[in-house]
Amino acid sequence: MKIESKTVHWGDRRKAGGFTPVTTPIYTAASYIYDSMEQLDRVFALEESGPSYARYDNPTRSALEEVVRELESGAGAIACASGMAAIYTAVLVALMDRPKRVLAANMMYGATTSMLVNVFGPLGVETAQADPCDLTAFEAALTEAKTGAVIVETIANPLLRVPAMDKIAAICQRADVPLIVDNTFATPLLVRPLELGASIVCHSATKYLSGHGDVLGGVIVANQANFDALRTVCRTIGPVMGPFESYLTLRGIKTLALRVERQCANACKVAQWLAAQPRVERVYFTGDPAHPDAATVMSLFPKNLTGGLVSFELKDAGRTEVFRFMEKLKMVVRATSLGDVHTLIMYPVMGSHRDLSPKHRERLGIRDNLMRLSVGIEAVEDIIADLDQALNI
């Protein structure tokens, strides 16, 4: 079955008594009853599949976990209450019985960087950073830091660099270091990091997976070597997604392929249009033939699916001018998030990378005139018209 069909069918239609629901119901029970105590004992022991307690398992959540596990080609998955809960848990699991040192990509979601420094740091975990697009420097940093785990993004937030994930995975495998990949921006339709050799993949399910701006959630998918530890940790600390959010995410995934295909096509046209505008200084887009990682994109991504995000800089602009431009937008939604059916625009300095110091942002290339556009599924002519009127008023 191709991945587009799996998004529609996988995980659903589990038998319930004498009937089979067409779609997975919302199960709200905190605990579950079995006719036989011996069977309940087997369920608790993980010798037989089935729910026993909501922190351990939930049928709605299990259906979601099963489809994401299949889409990412993993051994198992856990749906979490947020994307950051997923990343936190993944790092926690990867560092078990390993040196408490993390090598992180130097360009990442600001909250991930903040978590590594401000949450794991006081717990004794050291974090080093390196450029994952410079493989020689990245491997040297991994060796020098005596790293216990590596974390990178498939498409870096917000400047959209694309590291050679297969080569990074090979570096980590040679060093026997687990590789955690945040695959939120790419989705399994573009890249499946576990197939390339990664150990753990994370998603903010709030974004492309659910896709409609009505869910807060995350998903972790692990390979065989890491799933047992992941399941044990999650059954103990319970960072899990609730049944309502699980249902909405599961429903959203059914249209994932259609949405991402449209978003990628629209993003390509929007990026080309922005690049021709005199008020736009620079455009960042993974489908640009002049992208610094164009060879990697061509190697790893399917043809015509290069991502739905476009970042761009306004010429001679600062915070005031950016705010003025964004306030003029009429259809494009000025809100923090991405991957929704509607086009969203976000100001990294104010949102995703707010916690980084101005000097740190400047070193990373995140300037005060930079905006990130998550292109939706609207008619691309309407998206461009709205950007045009805001640029030219």
How many angstroms separate the CA atoms of 234 and 241, rounded? Answer: 11
CA 238, 240, 246: angle at the middle one, nearest 5? 160
What single string gives the DSSP state of each residue in 135-182? HHHHHHHHHHTT-SEEEEESS-TTT-----HHHHHHHHHHTT--EEEE
Alpha helices in the chain (DSSP H): 3-9, 37-44, 59-71, 83-94, 110-115, 135-144, 165-174, 187-190, 193-196, 224-237, 243-253, 256-275, 294-300, 319-328, 358-364, 380-392
- Name beta bridge partners: 121: none
| Other residues' Cβ atoms within 10 Å of the Cβ of residue 68 | 27
**Three-class SS of residue 272?**
helix
C-alpha 60, offset from chain centre: 21
Rg of the chain (C-alpha set): 21
Catalytic status, residue 182: yes
Residue 176 burial class via C-beta count within 10 angstroms: exposed 0-12, middle 13-18, buried 19 and up:
exposed
Cα–Cα dist 209/61, whole Å: 14
Catalytic residue among 6, 12, 42, 55: 55
Q: Report whether 132 contacts 179 (CB < 8 A).
A: no
Nearest to 62 by CA among 78, 48, 75, 46: 78
167 counts as catalytic = no
Q: How far from chain centre, in Å, is Cα 238?
A: 20
Of 361, 61, 15, 112, the residue nearest 239 (C-alpha): 61
Residue 386 annotated as catalytic: no
Looking at 182, 288, 340, 368, which residue is catalytic?
A: 182
Catalytic residue among 61, 69, 101, 207: 207
Q: What is the C-alpha to C-alpha distance for residues 229 and 97, in angstroms, rounded to an integer?
A: 11
Per-residue buried b or exposed e for 153-163, using 16+ beta carbons within 10 Å of the residue's own CB: bbbbbbbbbbb
Is 207 marked active-site?
A: yes
- Measured CA distances, 116 to 6, 88, 181, 261 (Å): 34, 9, 15, 33
Catalytic one of 88, 109, 208, 284:
109
Give catalytic residues, as residue numbers.
Answer: 55, 109, 182, 207
